[in-house]
Amino acid sequence: MSLAYFWIFFVLLAVGMPVVFALLVAPGLSLVIDGKDQLFFSKLLSTVYTGMYSFPLMAVPFFILAGELMNSGGITRSIVRFSESMIGHVRGGLAQVNILSSILFAGLSGSAVADTSALGKMLIPAMEQNGYSRRFAAAITAASSVIGPIIPPSGIMVLYAFVMNVSVAGLFLAGFAPGLMIGLGLMALTSYFSRVRNYPVAARKSTWRERSVSFLETFPALLTPVLLLGGILSGIYTPTEAAAIAALYAVFAATLLKLDLWERFISDTAHAYLHVGPLTLLLFAGFTEHVGFKLFIALGVGWIVIAEAFWRVVIARNRKKPQRLSADAYGTPFKADLSRAASDTAQRLPLVLKNTAIQSGIILLLVGAAVTFGWMVTVSGLAREAARLIQGVSDNPYVLLFLVNILLFVVGMFLDAGPAILILGPVLGPIMTQIGIDPLHFAIVMCVNVTVGLATPPMGLVLFVASSVAQEKVERIVQAIWPFLLVEVAVIFLITYFPSVSMTLPALAGFARCPDGATLCSLLVEGLGQ
């Protein structure tokens, strides 16, 4: 079978055809040209369907649904308020708030586009009003939004795990360190720019009580990654089931944050932390084999009863100020409050479900088309020829990793992260494994690389989203974003040549082995193993 489909694909992309249709049309035309359409055309069509018909892929729409529910429920605003209370008082504080909000938002949506859109609509106008240039505000929003698909949950990682048969949980754990490193690197660079350009201080320094209240406002949302990874790592549910649980929890969190009862509850921080602190520790313990989730439920309910009784009998009576959480809150007013909050959440569901269906349909159709294209790559022998070509360049793994990183970075300039993974993953993954690279290590390198590509010109998707939100030309955003891209590229090469940075957490959880020479990782694994 010829390689005509490969060249047809790039020609179709060059003339502006959407990627999903180019992936479908190129193999079909190639079969017609080769005169093999009668032999393989039915196989081609069935591969599109079988590529989408996969239980693990159900995690993708559920994660999208959870992110949409969180965003529509006003959780984005609470994240921004908490970030502002923590670091809004430093010079260049709003820019730092933008980055910190992206780090926190990453644990909810796992989408760079959602991050750029949701946070950009709030922070870009605010930054411009506080003396930042519009292009800088858009650039920092776009650059920090790539953290979204790196810190779990991540739809991109689910796609890679599906295509390359690696552990979703292991890949999720590997994403924490690179995501936090990118965030801290962007913060350090922003701090330098703030001093050099004399950016303003956004707000006064918040009191610790204000910070406590803003943290409690965000607390239900921040539990999402804990519930996801805790349940997956403990074996209580699979990654796909975890995504469904995240969607259900998002409904609960969005409703809870609209309750007047919750606002009264968190307004008295001492009372709130008396409940929230121990319950959080019990939740962590519930995901271990020593306690278990069922025992956690029993202990949690018991603690709520005991803590509330202790508060009312011992503490509330001896306080000078009146008790903020009155007994009436548990009666009819609470029922009306719950009905109002649930009704508000229900009214948003149609639009949330519509957006989820559209995004999921696009991704799943893309997966089906990419699996078809991958089948052609395998049948035609292109993967085998590519492996021979790459291995012929050098037998040094470090050189090959450098070349592959350059390739991925260039591809990321033109292709979205999903198509890049679906097309190049089956080609490059086996080659890296053959030269001794851990499959999970290459997985995180590739995922981070193509994610950074979302913010690189000329076709970076989040650049266009930021341009639309900020009403600023892409060219002007690119002029301001390149220093931040250098930080992200530096992190890519750091996790490439120092694999223990990203592989220590997966090794501790038993999803990978410590890289050769990683002394600290080995000591941690051996110490915890004992």
- 149-158, 186-195, 442-451: the lowest-pLDDT one: 149-158
- Residue 322 CB burial class (10 angstroms; 0-12, 13-18, ≥19): exposed
pLDDT, average across residues 212-222:
87
| Residue with the two structure tokens 């070349």 | 403
Side-chain half-sphere of 250: how many Cα atoms within 13 Å?
A: 30
pLDDT, average across residues 194-200:
85
Give which of 169, 119, 26 is closest to 510, Cα–Cα.
Answer: 169
Q: Is 364's pLDDT higher than 60?
A: yes
178 preceded by cis ω (within 30°)? no
Evaluate whether 172 touches 444 at the Cβ level (below 8 Å). no
Q: Rounded distance, CA 417 to CA 137, Å?
A: 24
- 66-75, 299-308, 380-389, 430-439: the lowest-pLDDT one: 380-389
Side-chain half-sphere of 251: how many Cα atoms within 13 Å?
A: 15
Residue 286: what residue type? G
pLDDT level of residue 332 (50, 70, 90 thresholds): very low
For the entire predicted model, the pTM comes to 0.85
389 to 163, 385, 394, 404, 456: CA distances (angstroms): 23, 6, 9, 12, 27
Q: Is 292 helix (H, G, I), strand (E, B) or coil?
A: coil
pLDDT, average across residues 426-453:
90
Evaluate whether 488 touches 494 at the Cβ level (below 8 Å). no
Q: Is 24 helix (H, G, I), strand (E, B) or coil?
A: helix
Q: Is 323's pLDDT higher than 60?
A: no
Evaluate whether 179 touches 100 at the Cβ level (below 8 Å). no
pLDDT, average across residues 209-220:
87
Q: Rounded distance, CA 447 to CA 13, Å?
A: 22
DSSP string, 164-182: HT--HHHHHHHHHHHHHHH
506 to 6, 74, 199: CA distances (angstroms): 36, 33, 40
Query: According to the model, what pLDDT value does residue 289 have?
Result: 64
Residue 192: what residue type? Y
Q: Is 286's pLDDT higher than 50?
A: yes
Residue pLDDT, tens place only, 116-175: 888 888 889 888 888 888 999 999 999 999 998 999 888 889 889 888 888 888 999 999
Side-chain half-sphere of 116: how many Cα atoms within 13 Å?
A: 24
Q: What is the 3-state secondary structure (H, E, C) of 463-477?
A: HHHHHHHHCCCHHHH
Q: Is 196's pLDDT higher than 70?
A: yes
Query: According to the model, what pLDDT value does residue 328 have?
Result: 46
| Residue with the two structure tokens 């266009």 | 464
pLDDT level of residue 297 (50, 70, 90 thresholds): confident
Q: Rounded distance, CA 210 to CA 218, Å?
A: 13
CB atoms within 10 A of CB 104: 22
pLDDT, average across residues 366-371:
81
Q: Return the higher-pLDDT residue of 63 and 42.
A: 63
Query: According to the model, what pLDDT value does residue 442 have?
Result: 94
Residue 508: what residue type? L
Q: Rounded distance, CA 180 to CA 453, Å?
A: 18
pLDDT level of residue 88 (50, 70, 90 thresholds): confident
Give which of 473, 495, 518, 475 is closest to 408, Cα–Cα.
Answer: 495
Q: Rounded distance, CA 193 to CA 92, Å?
A: 8
Evaluate whether 502 touches 177 at the Cβ level (below 8 Å). yes
**If you average pLDDT over every residue of the chain, what do you get?**
83
Tell me the CA end-to-end span of the chain in Å, nearest whole number. 55
- 61-75, 249-263, 515-529: the lowest-pLDDT one: 515-529
Q: Rounded distance, CA 25 to CA 276, Å?
A: 55
pLDDT, average across residues 43-48:
78
Q: Rounded distance, CA 296 to CA 100, Å?
A: 31
Query: According to the model, what pLDDT value does residue 213 have?
Result: 87
